[in-house]
Structure 1
Amino acid sequence: MTASDWITTLAIIIGPIVAVAITLWIETRRKSHDAKLTTLRALLASRDFPSDPSYQVAITLVPVEFNGCPAVLTAHREFLETANVDTQGMTDEQLKGASDKTNVKLTRLLFEMAKATDLNIRETDIQTGAFGSRGFYERDALLQDSQRAMRDVANILWMQTRMLGGETFDQVTSQPQGNTVPPKDKAKKIEKKK
C-alpha cells in the first residue's frame, strides 16, 4: 500500500467521524444560544410585570442557561440581592429608591444577557425601550386587586365559620388566623352544644 492509499483510507474513516463531531458541536452551541435567547426574550417581555409567571421563571433560569457567563451570573446575583430587600416598614421614598435600584440592576442583568447572546443592544436602549399599554397595566392592577379581594373574602368566611361555631367576635379577632384549630376545651364545648 502506498502513502496515498493510506491517506485515502484514513480520510474515508476519519472524515465522517470529524463531520459528525463538528455537526454535534454546532448543534449544541445553537441549542445553548436559543435557550439563552428565549430566557432573555421572556425577561424583556415581562420586566414591567414582576408578578407575571414568565418573569419569575426567566429569572430562575438565568443561572441555568447562562452558566458559562460569569458577567451574567454576577449581574444576576447583584439583581437578586437588590430585589430581595425587605420593604416592610419602608416609607414611600425608600420604596421608590429600592425600586429604582432594582430597575438599575435588572437593566444591567439584561444588558449582560444581551452581550452573552451576541445581541447589539445598548444599556440605555434597555432602560428606555420598555413598553406597556395603559390597558395592560390597568388589567394587571385589576387582577392584583381581585386577588386581594379574594383573600379578604376568605378571611371573612373564616371569621363567619368560627362565629357560627359558637365563638364571639372578640374571640375570633383575638386569635391569629393561622391557628384555626380551637383549644381542646373549646372543641368539647362546641361538640356538646350540637
Structure 2
Amino acid sequence: MKILFGATEPSIFGIDVSIWLNAAGILAGLAIAGLLTPWLASRSTRRDQQERTLRLLLNTWQTPANPDYQHAIAVIPIDFRKCRAVLDAHEALMVAVNEAPAQTEEEALTKNETMQNLQHQLMEAMATKLGLEVTAEKLRARAYLSKGFVDREMMFISAMQAWTRIADALERSNEMFAPTTPDQPEPEEK
C-alpha cells in the first residue's frame, strides 16, 4: 500500500471532504447534546423527587396523621405517573382508605392490618421502581417507634381530647354565673 502525500483529495465547493465531515460531526454532536441534556436533567430531577417521596413515606408511615405522610400520599400519582405498579398499589390503598369505617373492634384490627399491608406494598413498589431493596417483609420486621415518641403522641391526643372538655366546662360555668352578674351598662359613645 502506498500513501501519497500531496495528492489531490476530493472536495465539495473547493473545501476538502474531511473538513465537511468534521463540521458535520460537530453539528451532529451539538444537536444530540442539545436534545439529550434536557432529557437527562429531567430524568434525574424526576428520580430525585421520587426518592424524596419514598423517604417521606418511609419516615412517616407509622403515623398516618402526620402532614408529611399526607403530602407524600397525595403526590405519588404525580411523581410516579408512568409506573403502573406504583399507581396500582396507590389505588389499592386509596380504595381501602375510603371504605366504610369499621363497626367492631375485630373489624378495626383487620382493617388496620390490611391498611398496613397496602402501605408496605406501595412502598415496596416505589422502591423497586427506584432499584432499591426495600420489601414489605423488611418494613414489617424492622418497624420501630421509640417509647418516647409513642408517649408524646398519646399526650398530644389526650391534650386534644381535654380541650373539648375544658371548652364545655367553661361554657357551663358561664351559663351558671350569667344570672348572678348584674347587667352592665353599655359604654357611652363619644
Pair in the same fold by TM > 0.5: yes
User: Normalised by the size of structure 1, how large is the TM-score?
Assistant: 0.77
Residue aligning to 1:41: 55
Structure 1 residues 81 and 139, CA gap change in structure 2 (3 angstroms) = same
Please state whether the residue corresponding to 1:119 is helix, strand or coil.
coil
Consecutive unaligned residues of structure 2, counting only runs of 5 or more, are 1-14, 180-185
SS of the aligned residue for 2:124 comes to helix
User: Please, what TM-score do these two structures have when normalized by structure 2?
Assistant: 0.78
Structure with larger RCO (C-alpha < 8 A, sep 6+): 1
Bigger proportion of residues as helix: 1
Name the larger-Rg structure.
2
Counterparts in 2 of 1:79 and 1:4: CA distance versus 1, 3 Å: same
Q: Which runs of 4+ in 1 moved over 4 A?
A: 158-166
Query: What's the Cα RMSD here?
Result: 2.2
Equivalent residue, structure 2, for 1:91: 104
Equivalenced residue count is 167
Cα distance in 1 for partners of 2:162, 2:94 equals 29
Moved more, 51-60 or 79-88: 79-88
Q: 1:122 to 1:16 in 2, by over 3 A?
A: same
Q: Specify every segment of 5 or more residues in structure 1 that has no aligned partner in the other structure, as ranges.
A: 167-193
Letter in structure 1 aligned against 2:71? V
Of all paired residues, the percent bearing the same amino acid is: 27
Is 1:21 matched with 2:11?
Answer: no
Secondary structure, counterpart of 1:85 in structure 2: coil
Q: Which amino acid aligns with 1:146?
A: A
Q: Is the aligned partner of 1:52 residue 2:66?
A: yes
Equivalent residues in 2 for 1:83-162, closer than 5 Å? 83-87=97-101, 90-160=103-173
